[in-house]
Amino acid sequence: MTILQDAPPAAAAPAVRETMTMAAALNRALADALAEDDRVVVFGEDVGALGGVFRITDGLRARFGEERCFDTPLAEAGIVGTAVGMAMNGLRPVVEMQFDAFAYPALEQIVSHVAKMGNRTRGAMRLPIVIRVPYGGGIGGVEHHCDSSEAYYAHTPGLTVVSPATPQDAYALLRAAMRHPDPVVFLEPKKLYWAKGEVDTSITAELGRAVVVRPGSDVTLIAYGTSVPTALAAAEAAGAEGRSVGVVDVRTLAPFDDATVTDAVRATGRAVVVAEAPGFASVAAEIAARVGERCFSYLEAPVRRVTGFDVPYAPPKLEHHYLPDVDRILDAIDTLYPDEA
């Protein structure tokens, strides 16, 4: 049995502060990790010469060589199984599942081995694997290209599940995930790959921490990933109507930051959870339940959810009807004030 040993860190990459897309921020995070730690390897379908379907790994093979960034066969179970073996032997693999629904053949490896190895060996063998999954809709993709599959991973004990909503968080959270001693499923909202924002590579992030991205005194919107910009737009629109609406970005779905979320809800007494995935048995349902249990005596109205519908993901021309939008969130907020109806 091989136990992961800490290697002496290489010289840290020089910090930068500049405006970049989320895709560029993720690329920078991977490059910095590869430069600083020889144990980090990046692999998956088309991540080498092509640089990935979304170009997240662009230039990494040329810079670090084929042994550090390489292509694999189209075999997701094999990709993750290989990562398990690598991690057991001291490496820190970062694998890419090309699209969200393409990862389903790897679920057996993820659930049975990636998530459970640490517990199975009573902590003697931990697997520092990062599984990157482009997920969610909003890009006009067809079936198998726009699933929100976070509930499968968040439901599985042993996995840390992360979803950034900004380029800054994409960089800082991916760096944190690659330093983590246990497996992380890193869900990348593909609709936001081209969203721009300022990134300071000296800023660190802690896994398992939500953040209040907009304060409010009347209603709290709770969102993650692609839904965060939508929630912020709804909060802005509600403000124009005289309501102070705050937004909490969950960032880490598992483990869940109850303290930050419940503090925000207790301050307003009203909450709406926003997520793209179907609502039944979802992460949004779990968040609503946790808020209801922990904030019951503070709530002025039931916790509402605005989610995707309980159907397979809509065809491209219909996805705007399926995805949560500002109007649906504002309608949910209105239901929290029945006396004004």
Q: Annotated active-site positions, please?
A: 145
Q: Which residue has the tokens 């690329």?
A: 27
Q: Which residues touch 267 (CB under 8 Å, ≥6 apart)? A: 217, 220, 246
- Cα Dmax for the chain: 65
Separation between Cα atoms, residue 73 and residue 82, nearest integer Å: 12
Pull the structure tokens for residue 226: 């692609």
In the numeric block, which tokens belong to residue 306? 């605005």
Q: Strand 196-200 and strand 17-21: pairing? A: antiparallel
Q: Residue 254: beta bridge partners?
A: 161
Phi-psi region at 263: left, alpha or beta (left = phi > 0; alpha = psi -120 to 50): alpha
- How many whole angstroms separate alpha carbon 267 and alpha carbon 299? 10
The Cα 270–Cα 170 span in angstroms is 29
Nearest 5°: the CA angle 242, 247, 250 is 165
- The separation between CA 35 and the C-alpha centre of its own chain, rounded to angstroms, equals 24
